[in-house]
Amino acid sequence: MNTAGSSAARTESAGTGPPVPVRRSPLRHPAAAPSAVLAAGAAGAVYLYRTDPHEPGHLLPQCPFRMLTGLLCPACGGTRMVYDLMHGHFTEAWLDNRALLLASPYVLYLLGRWAWSGLRGRHWRVTLSPRGQVVVLALAVTWTVVRNVV
């Protein structure tokens, strides 16, 4: 069988016009997701800045783990912590959730790296080894037990 002849036949049957450039959706751009997260975070921060989560009666999400169990989850107090940080109340933020406060610089670094990669046209995804996953899970469980017992 002649492979050159068969490929020529396929080319002719497919059409001989000029190649058509493939248009990519702007939603597929690597910066689309980080930009959406930034916009949603900014909108949430504006609302949170004007809404004191220490006072009841606001449209802020409740923790489903706490509603079901009555216990604090590893992230409980995170909304109050961010509110206190935005208002310069560092001691109160520390009391709201120490673990999240200590982890927040690393999370901000990861978000910044994701956005920077996206703006440069590159996809970036955080990868965590199985050992790293076990460490994060162990820290979260330990923090949950400590804050509910002490």
User: Both tokens of residue 94?
Assistant: 């520390």
pLDDT tops 50 at residue 35: yes
Q: What percent of the chain has pLDDT over 70?
A: 83
pLDDT digit string, tens, across residues 86-144: 999 999 999 999 999 999 999 999 999 999 999 998 988 889 999 999 999 999 999 99
Count Cβ atoms within 10 A of the Cβ of residue 51 and give its class: 0-12 exposed, 13-18 middle, 19 or more buried. Answer: middle
- Candidates 115, 118, 96; CA nearest to 41 is 115
Buried b (16+ CB within 10 A) or exposed e, 88-124: eeeeebeebbebbbebbeeeeeeeeebbebbeeeeee
pLDDT digit string, tens, across residues 58-68: 888 889 999 99
The model's pTM is 0.75
pLDDT at 7: 46
Q: Which has more confidence, 5 or 141?
A: 141
pLDDT band at 18 (very low <50, low <70, confident <90, very high): confident
User: Both tokens of residue 102?
Assistant: 């200590």
Round to whole Å and give the CA distance between 91 and 136. Answer: 25
- Candidates 64, 111, 103, 56; CA nearest to 80 is 56
Q: What percent of the chain has pLDDT over 90?
A: 69
End-to-end CA distance of the chain: 79
Instruction: Check if the beta carbon of residue 83 is closer than 8 Å to that of residue 91.
Output: no
